[in-house]
Amino acid sequence: MSNFEPAIIAFVCNWCTYTAADLAGTSRLTYPKNVRLIRVMCTGMVDPQYVIKAFLEGADGVLISGCHPGDCHYINGNYKARRRVKLLKEILPRFGIDNQRLRLTWIGASDGIQFAEIMGELVTQVRELGPTLPDLKMVI
């Protein structure tokens, strides 16, 4: 378990969190390499099935991150994401997945430092939780 390195899938909004990730990179901030970013136009387009599929295919943690409430470029996409995450947190334990593995954050375009910090915190937290569904991974 000590060598366990979690795989994290992050669905990030193009307009805010993806830009923050870009800023973190251009500012030469470091964050763990465990995070794979999937750029979406808005957190409101992250279907709950994407999250479940990520876990079932081996992700140890999933992050959805976008614009702060009130700043969504599509008016209310992030509010939809917030409702879906609340629902997913109720559903995930039925799949045997600890709902602490799913996280929703708001990271604005100018928050490169916050982006790097949150990625570090998330990887540490998921590393402590251990792998998701080790038996299922062996089947896959």
In the complex, the residues that contact ligand FES under the rule CB under 6 A are 13, 15-16, 42-44, 66-67, 72-74, 77-78
Nearer to ligand FES, 16 or 126 (CB): 16
Is the Cβ–Cβ distance between 18 and 119 less than 8 Å?
A: no
User: What residue number has its CB nearest to ligand FES?
Assistant: 66
Beta carbon of residue 25, minimum distance to ligand FES (angstroms, whole number): 19
- Pick from 39, 40, 84, 35: which is nearest to 60 by CA? 35
SS3 65: strand
Nearer to ligand FES, 47 or 128 (CB): 47
Report residue 63 as tokens.
């992050």
Beta carbon of residue 4, minimum distance to ligand FES (angstroms, whole number): 31
40 has which bridge partners?
13
Beta carbon of residue 41, minimum distance to ligand FES (angstroms, whole number): 7
Beta carbon of residue 33, minimum distance to ligand FES (angstroms, whole number): 24
Nearer to ligand FES, 7 or 64 (CB): 64
Which ranges of the chain does DSSP label H, i.e. alpha helix? Answer: 17-26, 48-56, 77-91, 112-129, 134-139
Nearer to ligand FES, 75 or 87 (CB): 75
User: 54 CB contacts (<8 Å, ≥6 apart)?
Assistant: 9, 62
Beta carbon of residue 44, minimum distance to ligand FES (angstroms, whole number): 5
Nearer to ligand FES, 81 or 122 (CB): 81
Map tokens 């995930």 to a residue. 92
